[in-house]
Amino acid sequence: MEEKKQIKKKKRRKKRYALRLLIFIILLTGLYYFMTSSWFDISAIETKGNEYYDGETVIKMSTLKQGTNIFRLERSRVEGLLLKDPYIKEAKIKRKLPHTAVIHIVERTEDAAFPYGEAYFLISLDKMVLRRVDEEPKVPILMGMTLEQMTPGTELSVAETTVLDNTMILLDAMREEDLYFKKIDISKVVVRAYIYDRLICEGKPENILKAVKNGNLQLVLKDLVDRGIDKGTIHLGSSEYCAFSPEIE
């Protein structure tokens, strides 16, 4: 008798498990059809972080289209398409349920340019070549290095690798201190940074960088501006040495 009871209990448990499994499958199937229904079709696409490109251009580059089911959105593929553009440093696609796709991007900026014949190649601080332009851009012009690779969409390559790295550090410090050099000539051991066409800052890269970071160069420039002086040479040496000469050497 006891054995029969145990058999009946096992059968009841099996029936309960089967019923639960059936209910789970029904719920899962219903959820699938609900998630793939038109209720979750993309009806709005937003862009965030873009300044160089307008939203319409970013959306076009992403190939995202309204009417696509938001759960069928291939985020890695779309992000990869956006990252092919040299101006886009980071890209992230997010879903905002029920029917909005959001494109988050981080753009590179035009931080310097290399002259090449009568043209210029614009680069960012991370040495990405952005594009070629025919007119002189309003960014620091870097001179004196031997260009090896300057194809837009690739990292700039020069023979003087260390010099380029130090120049990028200097440009970053300039941006942080809101300081602008029109042209930087690094063809010699001593760097010549042109504040104006006839006002030059001269010194070793490490000395110029130190003068920018500690504010000494800014103080000298402010004094010259207050005195109406826009011609001459600012000599920067070690131990915070700084001297001005009205001559352009």
DSSP letters spanning 176-233: HTT---SEEE-SSSSEEEEEETTEEEEE-HHHHHHHHHHSHHHHHHHHHHHTT---EE
- b/e burial code for range 53-84 (CB count within 10 A of at least 16 → b): beeeebbebbebeeebebeebeeeebbebbee
What CATH number was assigned to the domain covering residues 38-107? 3.10.20.310
Q: Which residue has the tokens 């498990």?
A: 17
The span from the first CA to the last CA of the chain, in angstroms, equals: 114
Identify the bridge partners of residue 73 per DSSP, sorted by sequence position: none
CA 234 to CA 144: how far, in whole Å?
Answer: 20
What is the side-by-side strand order in the sheet with 199-203?
129-133, 119-123, 112-116, 141-143, 183-185, 191-196, 199-203, 232-236, 242-245
Contact of 231 with 249, CB cutoff 8 Å: no
Name the pTM for this structure: 0.81
Domain ranges, ordered by start, for the chain: 38-107, 112-245
Contact of 104 with 48, CB cutoff 8 Å: yes
Contact of 88 with 57, CB cutoff 8 Å: no
Tokens at 248, concatenated: 């352009």
Question: Would the CATH topology of 38-107 be identical to that of 112-245?
Answer: no
Strands 232-236 and 199-203: parallel
What class, spelled out in words, does domain 112-245 have in CATH?
alpha beta
Contact of 103 with 46, CB cutoff 8 Å: yes
pLDDT of the chain, 249 residues: tens digit per residue? 555 555 555 656 666 776 677 677 767 765 565 556 576 789 999 999 999 999 999 999 999 999 888 888 899 999 999 999 999 999 999 999 888 999 999 999 999 999 998 999 999 999 999 999 999 999 999 998 999 989 999 999 999 888 889 889 999 999 898 889 999 998 777 889 999 889 999 998 888 999 999 888 989 999 998 999 989 999 998 877 888 888 876
